[in-house]
């Protein structure tokens, strides 16, 4: 197909591959924050095509045991960023490191990780909130919600002991702050009420990627099953009044499908609204990016081509006032796709 939806692409100036990406709006445009396989954090300004390496203080600096390892480096597999008080805050961690918080520009450690902290399987920023909060999921310690204050301890969500959490999403949806985590199954929480709303199970396989959206003002959770070819599920969530039925169907039952489109598995997912219509964007092991109309339960157009190898991360953002998708693959390239131009 034509590469017309591709707005810009750029190679990370690193010998290592991109493993995670976060996007924040800074100075009127998006700033893309990347972690590579060498545990190095980079930023990319897509408007100017400028990359910058971001050295970070060691995340265990305040832990007494850290003095025994003066040459130790961060081990970061997951990153997420938010803007607070005019500066960009970076929360990051990994399979051997708990969640720590930095000032991205200076690299100053604002809140260090402790060795007893749970390691990070996935993390995200709560989308749509004015005050930044970060959510982490671990392999064996459930879901934790962290504030931007270095002194505030995290809050553990109830009944969040989902085995093997590897993907997480958090957002304001229809006036409610929701968290969804995926591993062996899916759990969804109302963060304001600090209660679990629902749990879901795909027909087979675990969950490889997850997102939150709304259809007809009803919140839904979107999840990719870890099967080949990948399957996309959309489940309705209870309404704010506890009603479990509505225009999006009964809680516990998928709205449709599951729906398929990739030739391989789905490795990445994010959601967005275009002209007030809900869409998902996925990346696959088949080296393609696909767009899905969640209201219709159907894939939109042909696959977006260009990546070489697995598409590891997909994030949605706004560039020059247009909804875009940012994808990063094992080829070390970030690509920005025009979503508004793809939606019929």
pLDDT, tens only, 57-112: 999 977 776 777 777 889 999 999 999 988 999 999 999 899 999 999 999 999 99
Beta carbons of 269 and 209 less than 8 angstroms apart: yes
Number of domains in the chain: 1
CA distance 339 to 306: 16
The CA-to-CA distance between both ends of the chain, in Å, stands at 16
d(CA 172, CA 330) in angstroms, rounded, equals 31
Sign of the Cα torsion 149, 150, 156, 161 reads positive
Is residue 334 assigned to a domain?
Answer: no
Name the band, by pLDDT with cuts 50, 70 and 90, for residue 51.
very high
* Residue 188 lies inside a defined structural domain of this protein: yes
How much is the pLDDT for 341?
80
What pLDDT was estimated at residue 72? 83
**CA distances (Å), origin 292, targets 17, 261, 302:** 27, 9, 11
Q: Are 135 and 147 in contact (CB under 8 A)?
A: no
187/164 Cα distance (integer angstroms)? 12
Residue 273 reports pLDDT greater than 90: yes
Quick: pLDDT tens for 232-262.
Answer: 999 999 876 555 444 444 556 789 989 999 9
Indicate whether 86 belongs to any domain.
yes
Q: Which two tokens stand for residue 46?
A: 């897509």
**27 occurs within a structural domain:** yes
| pLDDT value of position 160 | 80
Written as six digits, the tokens of 49 are 């095509």
- Split at pLDDT 50, 70, 90, the class of 1 is very low
The CA-based angle 64-70-75, given to 5 degrees, is: 90
Q: Which domain holds residue 151?
A: 20-299
* Of residues 6 and 61, more confidently modeled: 6
The pLDDT confidence band at residue 329, using thresholds 50, 70 and 90, is confident
Query: What string of DSSP letters covers 44-111?
Result: EETTTTEEEE-----TTTTSGGGGG-TT-----SEEEEEEETTEEEEEEEETTEEEEEEETTT--EEE
Virtual torsion, Cα 181, 148, 172, 83, nearest 10 deg: -120
What is the pLDDT at residue 64?
A: 73
Segment 10-26, tens digit of pLDDT: 999 998 899 999 999 99
Task: Judge whether 207 lies within some domain.
Answer: yes
Instruction: Look up the CATH number of the domain holding residue 185.
Output: 2.130.10.10
Give me the sign of the Cα torsion angle 94, 111, 21, 40. Answer: negative
| 25: CB partners within 8 A, 6+ apart | 31, 83, 317, 318
Q: Residue 115's pLDDT is what?
A: 82
Q: Is residue 26 part of a domain?
A: yes
Does residue 343 form part of some domain?
A: no
pLDDT score recorded for residue 3:
45
Asked if residue 316 belongs to a domain, the reply is no
In this predicted structure, what is the pLDDT of residue 103? 97
pTM of the model: 0.93
């Amino acid at each position: 197909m034509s590469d017309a939806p591709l707005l810009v692409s750029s190679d990370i100036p690193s010998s290592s591959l991109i493993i995670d990406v976060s996007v924040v709006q800074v100075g009127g445009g998006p700033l893309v924050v990347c972690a590579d396989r060498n545990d190095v954090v980079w930023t990319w300004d897509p408007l100017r095509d400028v990359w910058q390496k971001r050295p970070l203080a060691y995340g265990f600096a305040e832990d007494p045991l850290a003095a025994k390892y003066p040459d130790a480096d961060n081990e970061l597999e997951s990153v997420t960023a938010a803007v607070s008080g005019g500066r960009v805050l970076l929360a990051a961690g990994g399979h051997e490191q708990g969640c720590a918080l930095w000032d991205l520009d200076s690299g100053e450690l604002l809140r260090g990780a402790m060795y007893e902290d749970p390691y990070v399987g996935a993390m995200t920023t709560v989308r749509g909130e004015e005050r930044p909060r970060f959510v982490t999921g671990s392999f064996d310690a459930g879901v934790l919600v962290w504030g931007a204050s270095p002194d505030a301890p995290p809050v553990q969500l109830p009944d969040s002991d989902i085995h093997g959490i590897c993907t997480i999403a958090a957002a304001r949806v229809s006036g409610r702050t929701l968290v969804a985590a995926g591993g062996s199954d899916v759990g969804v929480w109302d963060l304001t009420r600090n209660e679990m709303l629902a749990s879901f199970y795909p027909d087979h396989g675990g969950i490889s990627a997850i997102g939150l959206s709304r259809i007809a003002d009803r919140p839904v959770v979107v999840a990719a099953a870890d099967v080949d070819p990948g399957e996309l599920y959309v489940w309705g969530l209870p309404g704010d009044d506890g009603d479990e039925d509505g225009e999006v169907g009964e809680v516990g039952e998928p709205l449709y499908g599951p729906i398929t489109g990739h030739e391989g598995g789905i490795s990445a997912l994010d959601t967005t609204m275009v002209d007030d219509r809900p869409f998902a964007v996925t990346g696959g092991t088949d080296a393609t990016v696909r767009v899905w109309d969640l209201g219709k339960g159907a894939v939109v157009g042909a696959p977006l081509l260009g990546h070489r190898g697995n598409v590891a991360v997909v994030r949605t953002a706004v560039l020059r006032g247009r909804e875009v998708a940012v994808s990063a693959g094992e080829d070390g390239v970030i690509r920005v796709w025009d979503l508004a131009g793809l939606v019929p």
